[in-house]
Amino acid sequence: MLRGCKLAGADPMPELHNIIAFALISLGMVLTPGPNMIYLISRSICQGRTAGLISLGGVALGFVVYMLAAAFGITALLFAVPYAYDALRLAGAAYLAWLAWQAIRPGGRSPFQVRQLAADSPRKLFLMGLVTNLLNPKIAMMYLSFLPQFIDPTAGSIFLQSVVLGFTQIGVAVTGNATIAILAGSIAVFLAQRPFWLTVQRWAMGTVLGALAVNMATEARR
Interval 27-60: pLDDT, tens: 877 877 677 887 888 888 888 889 999 999 999 9
Closest-CA residue to 55 (of 69, 34, 41): 41
**Which candidate, 25, 45, 169, places its Cα nearest to that of 99?**
25
Assessment of whether the complete model's pTM goes beyond 0.85 = no
Nearest CA-CA partner of 41 in 141, 191, 199? 191
Q: What was the pLDDT predicted at 61?
A: 95
> Which pLDDT score is estimated for 170?
93
Is the CB of residue 163 less than 8 Å from the CB of residue 72? no
Question: What confidence score (pLDDT) does residue 80 get?
Answer: 62
Query: Read out DSSP for 26-75?
Result: HHHHHTS--HHHHHHHHHHHHH-HHHHHHHHHHHHHHHHHHHHHHHHHHH
Nearest to 49 by CA among 188, 189, 181: 181
pLDDT digits (tens, 9 = 90+) for 163-201: 899 999 999 999 999 998 898 877 776 766 777 776 776
Percent of the chain surpassing pLDDT 70: 72
d(CA 38, CA 44): 10
Other C-beta atoms lying within 10 Å of the C-beta of residue 220: 7
Domain ranges of the chain: 16-111+118-218
| Sign of the C-alpha dihedral computed for residues 187, 54, 124 and 135 taken in this order | positive
Amino acid at position 107, single letter = G
